[in-house]
C-alpha cells in the first residue's frame, strides 16, 4: 500500500496547479478598467479551484476585445474568425469529449455576425461553457452600435443615436429549443461572477453566461446606476445556487428565490427592464447533448472500415463472368 | 394495340428496314439474330417522377454487370416538380454502353425512349439525338381527351418523322395496364424490359438488378416490377424489329459501378477521416446522403451544420482537435467558406474541402455541369492563402483522391480543395474494385508531451513545414490565431515576422510541388496541337484526341490532376507542340466575335493559369451549356487549330 500512497501523493503534487499555471506569458492588452480583465481572473480562479488540466482545456473565441482572452490563458486556445467561435468549438468537442471547452465571445461576435451559430449552438447543447462578454458596443473597431446597444446611444455609426431597441440575449437564448443553462453575471461583482461561471462549468450541456461588462473607453458610465445603487441588481438564488457571502447579501438585498426549472419566471426575469438580474435564470440538466446523441457505437478501427467498405462494394460489384452472357440468345 | 413506325405505319409487328449502314436484320419473326454493335448511346426521358432516371441507371447497371463498358449521364430538370409534359421538365438518363471501357457520355444518342412527345422534343431540339436515330415514344397521348394534347402529339410525330428519325409509337401505358392499375408507377420498368430485350441483356441479371433497386420495398412491389420488366422484354421481342447486342469484354477482376458522389463518400470512409461537416447544396449533397448512411457504421459523423460557413468552421474545429475533417459543398458554398478556408491556411490546420462544381455565378445552374470554380479554388479568399487544389477526372479518381487529399492535408498541415463537378457527381462508370489498405489511414493522434521548448510554429527552413501540437498534448499549449503570428503563435505585426509566416506557408506548397510527377502525355510527345484539360473532361478529350489521330492529325493531350501547385515538366511538354489549347467546361471569350480581341479577351480558368506560369500563348476553347463536353464538339473545336498549321 505504501507504493500506492506514494503515487497518490505524487499525483497530488503534480496536479497542484497554481493560479499562475493558467496565466500565459502574454500580459492582457485590454484597457485599464476593462470588464474583460475581471472575467479572465474569474476563469483563472475557476481553473485553479477545479484543478483543470491546461492541456485538456481549449478556449475558443471569435474576433473582438473579448476574443483576445484565449491568448492570456495557459491552455490550448483558438482565436479564429469573427462570429464563428461556436461552430469551431462544436467541431473540437464532437470527437474529443475529453477536452474541456470554453467559448469567449462578444455582443457583436455572438449576437450580430455569429447570430445564426448562437441559436444553433443552443439547440445542439454541446457540453461547453459559453461566456458572452456584453459591453453593448463594438470596442475593437472603435465604437459602433452593437445589437445590444441601448436605444439612442451615439456611436460612430449612429451619430444621431441608435435607432433600434436593443436585442436581449437572455430572452433570445431562453427561447431556443434545447436551452439548458442561462445565467447572467456582472463584472463589478467579482465573487458572483466567479460563482456563476463555476456553476456554468459544472453544468452538463451548453451553459450560456451573459456577462455585463464595462467598456471604460466607449461606454464608461453605462452601468453606473446599477454599480452605485445595489437595489437595481436582483440576485437570483436557489438551494444549490449562488453561495452569497454575508457582505454581498448585506449590500444586495434585492434577492429572489428562483427555481431554475421555472421557464416562465426565467423569461419574466430576463425581460426585466429596470433591474439587472444576476444569477442562474434557467438550468435543465436533462437536455441531451449533441455529442452524446452522435456518439459512435463502435470506434473506427481499420478492421471496421475494411468491413464496411467491403459491404458497400459488395452491393455494386460485378464479378468476372465465366461466360459472356450479353450476346446470349433468348 | 397500335404501333407504327416511319417505315410501316399500321402493321404489327413492324418489320423495320435497317438504316444508317447497319447490317441487315433477319426476316424471321423470332428469335432474330442480334445486330452486333461496338457501342450505342441510349436515352430514356420522362416527366420528373416517372422513373426514367431509375430506368436508365438500372439499364446501365445491368449492362455493366454483364461486362459492358458504360457511362451514364443524368438528365435533370432544375425543379423538383416541373410542369408535366414540358420541354423544360425532361428528366432521365443517358447510357452509353460499349464493348470496351468508356470514359464519357459520348456524342448524340442512337436510341431514345420517351414517355411523352414534349420531353422528346427537348432532346431533339438540343441536338442530342443522332440524325436518323431510333425513337420509342409512348403513344397514349394520341387519344388524349384534351384535344390540344392529342393534336400536339400528332404534330410532333409528324415533325419527328419528317426530320428522318425512326419513330416507333408504343402503347406502354396500355400494356402496363394489364399488370398494374397505375402505370405511372412502373412504366419505367416496362421500358427497362424493352431495352433489355432490344439489347439482348440477360433476363435473370436484369431481374437481379430490379430486386436490388427495390431491396428496401416489400415483396409485392418487387414482384410487380419484375412482372413489368418481363412484360416489357416480351413485348419488345414480339413487336419490335430492333435487336442489338453490344458484346461485353471479359474482365478478369471484379468491378464496382457507382457514381462520382458515391465514390467520394466511400473515399471519405476509406481515408479514415472521422468527421464530415456539410450543408445541403446541389449537386454535392448526394455524396453526404450516402455518407450519412454508412459513416455511422464505422463510428463516424456527418454533421449537417446550420450553414456553409458553420460547416467549414466545424470541420476546422474537428481537424484542429486532431480529427481531420472534410466539408463537402458546391460553388456557392465554396464562396461562403472562403474566409474559414483562409483561417485554416493561416493556422496551418489540415482540412479537406470538396467542391462538386455546378453552373455559376450566383445560384447559376445547380443541377448542371460546369468547371467554373478553378480560380475561386486557387485564389478565392483574401490575402495570400496558398492551398492545394486538385481535380478528379473519373469516378475511380473520386474515390482515391479523397484518400490522397487527406494525406496531403495532414502531411503539410494545409487545406486541400478537391474539385469534382455535376457531370461526375451523377455519372456512373465501372472501375476495378478497390482493396482496402491500412496505409490509407492516418496513425492515431499524438497525445504525448511535446518536447521541452518546442514551438507551435517551428517552421523548417527548408520545407516550411512545422510539426503541429494537438490539444491534449502536455506542454503544447498555445493560442492558435488567424492573426499574423510568430513561431510561438503570438500575435505579431512586425514586418519581418509577417513576411516570414507568409514565406513559410508559401514554401510548403513549393515543397509539396517537388513530390508531384509530370503528367503523362496522351498521344505522341510532340506534334502540332496539345490539348490540355482538367477534371471531368478527361475521357471526352482523350476520345477526341484518338479520333483526330485516327484521321492523321498530330494531336496529343495532357490532363492535370494538380492545378495548384502544378507538377514540374509541364512547361517542357507545352514547348514541344506548335499550338496549345485548353479544353474546359467554362467560359472564355471567342476571338471570332467582333468585340473581342487580344486586349480584352477573357480566358478560360486553366488557360489563364498556364499562360501566367509558362509564358506560352495558350489558346482555349470552352462551353457553358450545362452539359458535359462531348468528344465530337472537342474534335470540331480542335480542327481549325490544325488546319491553320
State the nearest Cα–Cα gap between A276 and chain B, in angstroms: 32
Same domain assignment for residues B486 and B615: no
Spell out, as residue ranges, where chain A has pLDDT lower than 50. 1-3, 6-8, 323-330
In the listed set B183, B215, B245, which residue is the last one of a domain according to the structure?
B245
B108: exposed, middle or buried (C-beta count within 10 Å: 0-12, 13-18, 19+)?
middle
B-chain CB neighbours of A328 within 8 Å are 200, 202
pLDDT given at position B24: 43
Q: Which of A95, A101, A289 to mutate to test the interface with B (most CBs of B within 10 A)?
A: A95
B45: preceding bond cis by omega (within 30 degrees): no
Q: How many residues in total does chain A contain?
A: 330
The verdict on a CB contact (< 8 Å) between A309 and B325 is no
Shared domain check, B427 and B349: yes
Answer yes or no: is B296 within a domain. yes
Is B350 a domain residue?
yes
Other residues' Cβ atoms within 10 Å of the Cβ of residue A304: 17
Cell numbers that stand for B512 in this block? 509539396
Phi-psi region of A309 (alpha: psi -120 to 50; beta: other; left: phi over 0): alpha
pLDDT at position A14: 58
Sequence-separated (6 or more) residues with CB below 8 Å from residue B83: B89
| Beta carbons of A305 and B200 less than 8 Å apart | no
Consecutive H or E run containing A104: strand A100-106
Answer whether residue B9 shows pLDDT above 60: no
| Tens digit of each residue's pLDDT (9 = 90 or more) over A260-306 | 999 999 999 999 999 999 999 999 999 999 999 999 888 899 999 99
Is the pLDDT at B38 greater than 60, yes or no? yes
A59 at the B interface (CB within 8 A)? yes
What fold does the segment set A17-293 form as a domain?
Rossmann fold (3.40.50)
Q: Residue B28 pLDDT > 60, yes or no?
A: no
Contact list, B320 vs chain A (CB under 8 Å): 78, 88, 91-92
- CB distance A325–B248 less than 8 Å? yes
Residue B325 and residue A99: Cβ atoms within 8 Å? no
Q: Which residues of chain B make contact with A321, given a CB cutoff of 8 A?
A: 66-67, 248, 250
In the prediction, which pLDDT does B3 show? Answer: 41
**pLDDT average, residue stretch B554-578:** 98
Cα B527 to Cα B520: distance, rounded to the nearest angstrom: 15
For residue B30, the model assigns a pLDDT of 53
Specify if B72 maps to a domain: yes
Identify whether B47 is part of a domain. yes
* Helix, strand, or coil (residue B303): strand
At which residue does the C-alpha cell 477573357 appear? Answer: B602
**CB of A322 within 8 Å of any CB in chain B?**
no
Query: Which of A26, A96, A309 minimises the CB distance to B436?
Result: A309
Q: CA of B325: which chain A residue's CA is closest? A: A91
Calculate how close chain B gets to A133, using CA atoms only, in Å: 19
- For residue A308, which residues of chain B lie inside 8 Å, CB to CB? 269, 294, 297-298
Q: How far is CA A114 from CA A105, A132, B333, B615, in A?
A: 10, 12, 17, 45
pLDDT confidence of residue B193: 97
Residue A235 touches chain B, beta carbons under 8 Å: no
Kindly state whether residue B252 falls inside one of the protein's structural domains: no
SS3 state at A99: coil
Question: B139: pLDDT confidence band, cut at 50, 70 and 90?
Answer: very high
Taking an 8 Å cut-off on Cβ atoms, the answer to whether A55 and B476 are in contact is yes
- Closest CB to A81 among B31, B325, B339: B339
Contact A84 B36 (CB under 8 A): no
pLDDT at position B490: 97
Chain A residues lying within 8 Å of B95, measured CB to CB: none
Answer yes or no: is B520 within a domain.
Answer: no
**Phi, psi torsion values for B44, nearest 5 degrees:** -130, 125
Last residue of a domain, one of B245, B276, B295: B245
Q: Which residues of A touch B251 (CB under 8 A)?
A: 318, 320
Give B33's pLDDT tier (boundaries 50, 70, 90).
confident
Residue A305: which of B272, B321, B490 has the nearest Cβ? B272
β-strands B109-114, B39-46: how paired?
A: parallel
CB contact under 8 A, B301 and A317: no
Q: At what angle do helices A85-94 and B308-320 cross, to 10 degrees?
A: 50
Q: How far is B350 from chain A (nearest CA, A)?
A: 14
What pLDDT sits at residue B52?
95
| Residue B177 and residue B218 in one domain | yes
Same domain as B430, residue B450: no
| Percent of chain B scoring above 70 in pLDDT | 95
> pLDDT, tens digit, for every residue of B186-245?
899 999 999 999 999 999 999 999 999 998 899 999 999 999 999 999 999 999 999 999
Confidence grade of residue B82 (pLDDT, cut at 50, 70, 90): confident
**What is the predicted pLDDT for the residue at A12?**
53
Nearest CA in chain B to A94: B318
Contact check, Cβ <8 Å, A98/B472: yes
pLDDT of residue B184: 83
CATH code of residue B370: 3.40.50.970
Q: Over 70: is that where the pLDDT of B475 sits? A: yes
For A87, which residue in chain B has the nearest alpha carbon? B314
CB pairs under 8 A between A and B: 244
Q: Residue B522 falls within a domain, yes or no?
A: no
Section B10-36 average pLDDT: 51
Contact predicate B102/B71, CB 8 Å? yes
Distance from C-alpha of B237 to C-alpha of B430, rounded to nearest angstrom: 28
Burial class (CB in 10 A: 0-12, 13-18, 19+), B162: exposed
Count: domains in chain B: 4
Candidates A273, A275, A280; CA nearest to A257 is A280
Question: Does A99 sit within 8 Å of B321, measured CB to CB?
Answer: yes
Whose cell is 474545429? That residue is B317
For B314, the closest of A70, A90, A119 (CB atoms) is A90
What per-residue confidence (pLDDT) applies to A169? 98
The x, y and z cell numbers of residue B148, run together, are 390540344
Which residues in chain B have Cβ-Cβ distances shorter than 8 Å to A80?
313, 316, 343, 347, 480-482
Q: CA of A216, closest CA in chain B: separation in Å?
A: 24
Collect all residues of chain A within an 8 Å Cβ-Cβ radius of residue B471.
55-56, 58, 76, 92, 96, 99
Looking at the DSSP bridge assignments, the partners of residue B619 are B581
| B562-564 and B388-391 beta bridge pairing | antiparallel
| Residue A146: strand, helix, or coil | coil
Percent helix, strand, coil in chain B, to 5, is 40, 20, 40
Residues B491 and B600 in one domain: no
CATH of the domain at B15: 3.40.920.10
Q: Residue B10, exposed/middle/buried by CB under 10 A (0-12, 13-18, 19+)?
A: exposed
User: Could you tell me the residue ranges of all domains in chain A?
Assistant: 17-293
| Nearest-Cα residue of chain A relative to residue B439 | A302
Tell me, yes or no, whether B363 and B313 share the same domain: yes
Alpha-carbon distance B452 to nearest alpha carbon in chain A (angstroms): 14
Question: How many residues in chain B?
Answer: 645
CA dihedral B232, B236, B239, B243 (to 10 degrees): 180
B177 and B88 together in one domain: yes
Q: Are A226 and A150 in contact (CB under 8 A)?
A: no
Q: Domain check: are B235 and B145 in the same one?
A: yes
Under 8 Å between Cβ of A84 and A102: no
CB spacing of B248 vs A324 below 8 angstroms? yes
Neighbours of A204 (CB within 10 A): 15
CB contact under 8 A, A330 and B237: yes
Q: Please tell me if residue A239 touches chain B, with a CB cutoff of 8 Å.
A: no
User: Angle CA(A277)–CA(A240)–CA(A273) in degrees, nearest 5?
Assistant: 10
How open is the CA angle B3-B7-B8, to the nearest 5 degrees? 45
A6: left (phi over 0), alpha (psi -120 to 50) or beta: alpha
Pairwise CB contact (< 8 Å): A330 & B251: no
pLDDT tens-digit series, residues B515-545: 999 999 999 999 999 999 999 999 999 999 9
The answer to whether A299 contacts chain B (CB < 8 Å) is yes
Mapping DSSP onto H, E and C, the string for B550-589 reads HCCCCEEEEEECEEECCCCCHHHHHHCEEEEEEEECCCCC
Nearest-angstrom CA–CA distance, B258 and A65: 51
Mean pLDDT across the stretch B106-124?
96
pLDDT at A325: 42
Q: Answer whether A317 sits within 8 Å of B323, measured CB to CB.
A: no
Q: Which residues of B37-56 are buried (b: 16+ CB within 10 A; e: fewer)?
A: bebbbbbbbbbbebbbbbbb
Least CA distance to A303: which residue of chain B?
B438
On whether both B270 and B409 belong to a single domain, the answer is: yes
Q: How far is B436 from chain A (nearest CA, A)?
A: 6
Provide the domain limits for residue B536.
527-643
CA B50/CA B186 separation, integer angstroms: 8
Query: Which residue among B245, B278, B303 closes a domain?
Result: B245
Q: Which residues of A touch B433 (CB under 8 A)?
A: 313, 317
In a domain, B521, yes or no: no
Set of chain B residues whose Cβ sits within 8 Å of the Cβ of A312: 266, 269, 294
Residues B99, B103, B107, B108: is their CA dihedral positive or negative?
positive
Amino acid at each position: 500500500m505504501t507504493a500506492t500512497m506514494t503515487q497518490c501523493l505524487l499525483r497530488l503534487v503534480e496536479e497542484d496547479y497554481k493560479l499562475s499555471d493558467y496565466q500565459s506569458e502574454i500580459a492582457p492588452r485590454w484597457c485599464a478598467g476593462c470588464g474583460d480583465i475581471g472575467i479572465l481572473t474569474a476563469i483563472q480562479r475557476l481553473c485553479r479551484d477545479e484543478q483543470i488540466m491546461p492541456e485538456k482545456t481549449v478556449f475558443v473565441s471569435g474576433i473582438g476585445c473579448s476574443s483576445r482572452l484565449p491568448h492570456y490563458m495557459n491552455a490550448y486556445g483558438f482565436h479564429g474568425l469573427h462570429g464563428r467561435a461556436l461552430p469551431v468549438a462544436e467541431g473540437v468537442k464532437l470527437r474529443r469529449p475529453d477536452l474541456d471547452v470554453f467559448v469567449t465571445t462578444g455582443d457583436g461576435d455572438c449576437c450580430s455576425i455569429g447570430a445564426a451559430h448562437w441559436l444553433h449552438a443552443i439547440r445542439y447543447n454541446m457540453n461547453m461553457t459559453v461566456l458572452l462578454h456584453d459591453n453593448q458596443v463594438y470596442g475593437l473597431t472603435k465604437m459602433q452600435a452593437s445589437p445590444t446597444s441601448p436605444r439612442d446611444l451615439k456611436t460612430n455609426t449612429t451619430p444621431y443615436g441608435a435607432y433600434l431597441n436593443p436585442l436581449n440575449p437572455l430572452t433570445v437564448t431562453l427561447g431556443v429549443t434545447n436551452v439548458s443553462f442561462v445565467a447572467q453575471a456582472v463584472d463589478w461583482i467579482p465573487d458572483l461572477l466567479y460563482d456563476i461561471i463555476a456553476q456554468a462549468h459544472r453544468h452538463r450541456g451548453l451553459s450560456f453566461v451573459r456577462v455585463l461588462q464595462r467598456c471604460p473607453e466607449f461606454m464608461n458610465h453605462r452601468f453606473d446606476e446599477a454599480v452605485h445603487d445595489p437595489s437595481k441588481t436582483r440576485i437570483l438564488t436557489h438551494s444549490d445556487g449562488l453561495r452569497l457571502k454575508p457582505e454581498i447579501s448585506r449590500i444586495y438585498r434585492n434577492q429572489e428565490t428562483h427555481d431554475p426549472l421555472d421557464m416562465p419566471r426565467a423569461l419574466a426575469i430576463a425581460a426585466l427592464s429596470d433591474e439587472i438580474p444576476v444569477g442562474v435564470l434557467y438550468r435543465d440538466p436533462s437536455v441531451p447533448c449533441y455529442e452524446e446523441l452522435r456518439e459512435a457505437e463502435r470506434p473506427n478501427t481499420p478492421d471496421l472500415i475494411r468491413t464496411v467498405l467491403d459491404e458497400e462494394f459488395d452491393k455494386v460489384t460485378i464479378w468476372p463472368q465465366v461466360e459472356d452472357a450479353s450476346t446470349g440468345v433468348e | 394495340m397500335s404501333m407504327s413506325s416511319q417505315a410501316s405505319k399500321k402493321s404489327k409487328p413492324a418489320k423495320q428496314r435497317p438504316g444508317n449502314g447497319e447490317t441487315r436484320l433477319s426476316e424471321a419473326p423470332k428469335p432474330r439474330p442480334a445486330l452486333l454493335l461496338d457501342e450505342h448511346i441510349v436515352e430514356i426521358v420522362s416527366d420528373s417522377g416517372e422513373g426514367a432516371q431509375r430506368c436508365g441507371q438500372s439499364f446501365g447497371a445491368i449492362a455493366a454487370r454483364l461486362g459492358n463498358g458504360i457511362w451514364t449521364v443524368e438528365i435533370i430538370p432544375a425543379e423538383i416538380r416541373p410542369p408535366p409534359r414540358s420541354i423544360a421538365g425532361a428528366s432521365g438518363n443517358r447510357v452509353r454502353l460499349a464493348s470496351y471501357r468508356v470514359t464519357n457520355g459520348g456524342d448524340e444518342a442512337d436510341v431514345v425512349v420517351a414517355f411523352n412527345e414534349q420531353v422528346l422534343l427537348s432532346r431533339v431540339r438540343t441536338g442530342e439525338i443522332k440524325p436518323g436515330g431510333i425513337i420509342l415514344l409512348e403513344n397514349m397521348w394520341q387519344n388524349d381527351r384534351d384535344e390540344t394534347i392529342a393534336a400536339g402529339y400528332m404534330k410532333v410525330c409528324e415533325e419527328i418523322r419528317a426530320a428522318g428519325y425512326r419513330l416507333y409509337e408504343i402503347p406502354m401505358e396500355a400494356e402496363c395496364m394489364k399488370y398494374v392499375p397505375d402505370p405511372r408507377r412502373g412504366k419505367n420498368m416496362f421500358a427497362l424490359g424493352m431495352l433489355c430485350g432490344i439489347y439482348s441483356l440477360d433476363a435473370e441479371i436484369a431481374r437481379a438488378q430490379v430486386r436490388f433497386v427495390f431491396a428496401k420495398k416489400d415483396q409485392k412491389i418487387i414482384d410487380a416490377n419484375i412482372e413489368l420488366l418481363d412484360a416489357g422484354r416480351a413485348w419488345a421481342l414480339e413487336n419490335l424489329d430492333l435487336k442489338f447486342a453490344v458484346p461485353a469484354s471479359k474482365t478478369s477482376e471484379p468491378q464496382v459501378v457507382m457514381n462520382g458522389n458515391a465514390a467520394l463518400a466511400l473515399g471519405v470512409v476509406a481515408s479514415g477521416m472521422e468527421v464530415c461537416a456539410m450543408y445541403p447544396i446541389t449537386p454535392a449533397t448526394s455524396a453526404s446522403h450516402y455518407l450519412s448512411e454508412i459513416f455511422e457504421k464505422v463510428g463516424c459523423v456527418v454533421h449537417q451544420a446550420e450553414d456553409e460557413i458553420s460547416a467549414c468552421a466545424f470541420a476546422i474545429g474537428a481537424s484542429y482537435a486532431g480529427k481531420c475533417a472534410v466539408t463537402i459543398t458546391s460553388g456557392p458554398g465554396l464562396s461562403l467558406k472562403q474566409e474559414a478556408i483562409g483561417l485554416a491556411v493561416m493556422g496551418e490546420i489540415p482540412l479537406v474541402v470538396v467542391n462538386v462544381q455546378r453552373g455559376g455565378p450566383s445560384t447559376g445552374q445547380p443541377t448542371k455541369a460546369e468547371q467554373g470554380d478553378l480560380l475561386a479554388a486557387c485564389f478565392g479568399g483574401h490575402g495570400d492563402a496558398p492551398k492545394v487544389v486538385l481535380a478528379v477526372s473519373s469516378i475511380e479518381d473520386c474515390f482515391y483522391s479523397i484518400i490522397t487529399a487527406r494525406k496531403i492535408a495532414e502531411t503539410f498541415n494545409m487545406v486541400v480543395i478537391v474539385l469534382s463537378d455535376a457531370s461526375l457527381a451523377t455519372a456512373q462508370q465501372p472501375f476495378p474494385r478497390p482493396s482496402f489498405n491500412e496505409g490509407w489511414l492516418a496513425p492515431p493522434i499524438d497525445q504525448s508531451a511535446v518536447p521541452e521548448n518546442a514551438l507551435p510554429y517551428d517552421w523548417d527552413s527548408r520545407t516550411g513545414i512545422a510539426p503541429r501540437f494537438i490539444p491534449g498534448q502536455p506542454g503544447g499549449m498555445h493560442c492558435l490565431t488567424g492573426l499574423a503570428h510568430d513561431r510561438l503563435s503570438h500575435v505579431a505585426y512586425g514586418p519581418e515576422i509577417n513576411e516570414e509566416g507568409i514565406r513559410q506557408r508559401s514554401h510548403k506548397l513549393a515543397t509539396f510541388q517537388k513530390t508531384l510527377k509530370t503528367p503523362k502525355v496522351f498521344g505522341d510527345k510532340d506534334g502540332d496541337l496539345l490539348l490540355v484539360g482538367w477534371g471531368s473532361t478527361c475521357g471526352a478529350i482523350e476520345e477526341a484526341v484518338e479520333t483526330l489521330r485516327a484521321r492523321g492529325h498530330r494531336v496529343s493531350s495532357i490532363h492535370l490532376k494538380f492545378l495548384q501547385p502544378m507538377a514540374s515538366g509541364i512547361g517542357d511538354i507545352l514547348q514541344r507542340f506548335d499550338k496549345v489549347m485548353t479544353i474546359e467546361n467554362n467560359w472564355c471569350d471567342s476571338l471570332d466575335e467582333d468585340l473581342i480581341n487580344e486586349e480584352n479577351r477573357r480566358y478560360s480558368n486553366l488557360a489563364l493559369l498556364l499562360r501566367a506560369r509558362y509564358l506560352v500563348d495558350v489558346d482555349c476553347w470552352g462551353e457553358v451549356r450545362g452539359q458535359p463536353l462531348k468528344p465530337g464538339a472537342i474534335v470540331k473545336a480542335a480542327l481549325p487549330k490544325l488546319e491553320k498549321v
